[in-house]
Amino acid sequence: MRDFWVFGYGSLMWNPGFEVVERKRATIFGLHRSLCIYSWVHRGTKQKPGLVLGLDHGGSCTGIAMRAPSEKRESVIEYLRARELVTSVYLESWRHIRLEHGETVPALVYRVDRTSPQYTGALSLDKQAQIVRNAIGGSGHNVDYVQSTVSSMAKEGIRCHRLEYVGKAISE
């Protein structure tokens, strides 16, 4: 069995929670990064939801591909399922991603399920900032999640203008 890749586009970039053998910038096509998920557990509650990132239909997304060791495949996938599928808002799938130097590899990806009641649809950036400012969940304040993601992306040289706008708006 070979090592395998996990595609991170949000908190997995700065807090993978599993052993990473190698990290590379990577792009997935046909999906884009969006604050399109109401968080009922980690960054908000059902009564006062926060917002977290999902991969939504269309466009592309640059993130981080993390290579996990083959001997830990089962435990890494089990960990990711417990973390990402806690409320069934994400769909787990294997998709091809393009690594920074052009190689294409299959990677484990978590994308939003548009049929979930947690899917927000299109919210204005100002509405996103308002929700993020006021939400706290089991993993902490929603503001910390967005700021940590924006900071991690900046360190990697990854831009997402919409997320950067929200990050700036919640800092004011």
Write out the catalytic residue numbers.
84
Sign of CA dihedral 105, 76, 90, 36: negative
CA 125: distance to chain centroid?
17
CA distance 54 to 120: 10
What pairing do the DSSP bridges indicate for beta strands 4-8 and 136-137?
Answer: unpaired
The Cα 99–Cα 21 span in angstroms is 15
